Structure 1
Amino acid sequence: MKRYLLALHGTPVDRLAIQKGLEVAKKENAKISIVAISTTPNLPKAWRDDNLPEILEQGAKEKATRVAAEAEKFFNENGVEVTTEAKVGDPGKIICSSSTGYDMVIMPTRGITGIRKAIQGCVAEMVSKCSSTPILFVRPQ
């Protein structure tokens, strides 16, 4: 049985990747593992207090957990069992390290280009460079 990793970031494009993951899982009778990833903002030291990093980490973990639970509910309602994991950190690094042992990674991409891509970076590009697992990028039309 094929095993696919569905990587989610808590963005509006996630819904498209979830729908594609469901389609692929049903068509190929594949097992889906969901990794939901959230990040913490990088704030200047002057804006931080002693408790802020823990508060931000907790908020990010709660967001990732919520994203994973919503995706799991959607799959279960459509007759597909999944496993889920919620992680906090750099999405590209997490997806690359999590992708080992899977037949494919399914992930959303916003398809940003130009200056915006140069400033924000591109998770899809990073994953395509560091993962040897085939990747199905899902982007809005």
Structure 2
Amino acid sequence: MCQKILMPTDGSPCSLQALEHGLDLAKTLGAKVHFLYVLENPAQTIWIAPESVPYGMELLEDLRKAGEEAIKKALDLARAKGVEATGEVKEGVPIPTIVEAAKEYDLLVMGTHGRTGLDRLLLGSVTEGVLHRTSVPVLVVRCR
């Protein structure tokens, strides 16, 4: 059954809603949870001019701090619900990093905004990308 649940998070309100549902499920099942925040290095996804490299490093550090804060918030939530949990910030590209990590787990729990049309095209969906690439069952929580 589900003994190990992976819950990727980006710290957004949508992600927190998914964590709430996932933690309730984990408590019911007596499962352990692992939170994953994927830190995407902006220098690898956008072009950074040589003169902006110092700011690029500051941006990466700010993003790392945001990731650590998201993991801390998730761990605090798990502790409050009485669920055994661990968490990490891992540098990488979100979809392949989550898909690779998921191989160690029985279930993934992720939130989605349910965007359609141009929003979906421009903003993409990590959850949808993971759904199409993983063989691990995924509980998708549609955000309000």
Relative to the length of structure 2, the TM-score reads 0.88
CA offset digits 1:21-77 (Å, max 9, x no partner):
111111111111111234454554348523122212111111111000011011112
CA–CA distance in structure 1, aligned partners of residues 47 and 37 of structure 2: 26
From 112, 126, 135, the counterpart of 1:123: 126
**Contact 1:3–1:104 (CA<8 Å) still a contact in 2?**
yes
CA–CA distance in structure 2, aligned partners of residues 60 and 48 of structure 1: 20
CA–CA distance in structure 2, aligned partners of residues 135 and 4 of structure 1: 10
Partner of 1:21: 22
Instruction: Map 1:1-80 to 2 at 5 A.
Output: 2-41=3-42, 42-46=45-49, 49-80=52-83
User: Identity rate of aligned residues, in percent?
Assistant: 28
**Contact 1:7–1:95 (CA<8 Å) still a contact in 2?**
yes
RMSD: 1.8
More divergent stretch after superposition (73-82 vs 37-46): 37-46
Instruction: Map 1:74-89 to 2 at 5 A.
Output: 74-89=77-92
CA–CA distance in structure 1, aligned partners of residues 140 and 75 of structure 2: 20
Unaligned stretches of 5+ in structure 2? none
Aligned length: 141
Change in Cα spacing, 1:90 to 1:140, as seen in structure 2 (3 Å) is: same
Deviating beyond 4 angstroms after TM superposition, the runs of 4 or more aligned structure 1 residues are 40-44
> Residue 12 of structure 2 aligns to which amino acid in structure 1?
T
**Contact 1:6–1:32 (CA<8 Å) still a contact in 2?**
yes
